[in-house]
Amino acid sequence: QVQLVESGGGLVQAGGSLRLSCKASGNFISIVKMGWYRQAPGKQRELVAEIITHGRSTYSEAVKGRFTISRDYTRNVVLLQMNSLKPEDSATYYCNADLRQSTPEYFYVQEWWGLGMQVTVSS
């Protein structure tokens, strides 16, 4: 079984910063990619940022220049440093990971989600 355990969410004033952390644990061989999505009330879940194994990262236009994603490869952790936060960044943030796993017969990649945590930015 696999778990993605998130931490770091909360309430912050506009212009402030938060750092989100997500640790992957359990039965998997390696991490293909890890990242963060968010979902605000009444809106679809959207990609915030993701980072693949060799360090290449992708950001949504809404957060580019304000958020930075990074990985701790030794601890299977992905971090999201969020600076200059705006009220429109308020949402439930979900950790996401594509993990390489195996059966006795073959390898496969499975997508996993964390439970989500609230980030609220007050104006």
What number is the average pLDDT over the span 110-117? 98
CA dihedral 59, 60, 63, 67 (to 10 degrees): -20
Render pLDDT for 81-111 as a digit per residue (tens, 0 to 9): 999 999 999 999 999 999 999 999 999 999 9
Render pLDDT for 15-62 as a digit per residue (tens, 0 to 9): 999 999 999 999 999 999 999 999 999 999 999 999 997 779 999 999
**Secondary structure class of 84 (helix, strand, coil):** coil
Half-sphere exposure of 11 (CA within 13 A, CB side): 2
pLDDT, residue 10, reads: 96
* Beta strands, E only, 29-88: 30-39, 46-52, 57-59, 67-72, 77-82
Give Cβ neighbours of residue 33 (< 8 Å, ≥ 6 apart).
Answer: 50, 51, 52, 53, 97, 98
pLDDT, residue 57, reads: 95
With a cut of 90, say whether residue 73 has pLDDT above it: no
What number is the average pLDDT over the span 5-10? 96
With a cut of 80, say whether residue 70 has pLDDT above it: yes
Query: Residue 102: how many CB atoms within 10 A of its CB?
Result: 11
**Secondary structure class of 37 (helix, strand, coil):** strand
pLDDT, residue 48, reads: 98
Radius of gyration of the chain (CA): 15
Distance between start and end Cα atoms, the chain = 40
pLDDT, residue 91, reads: 98
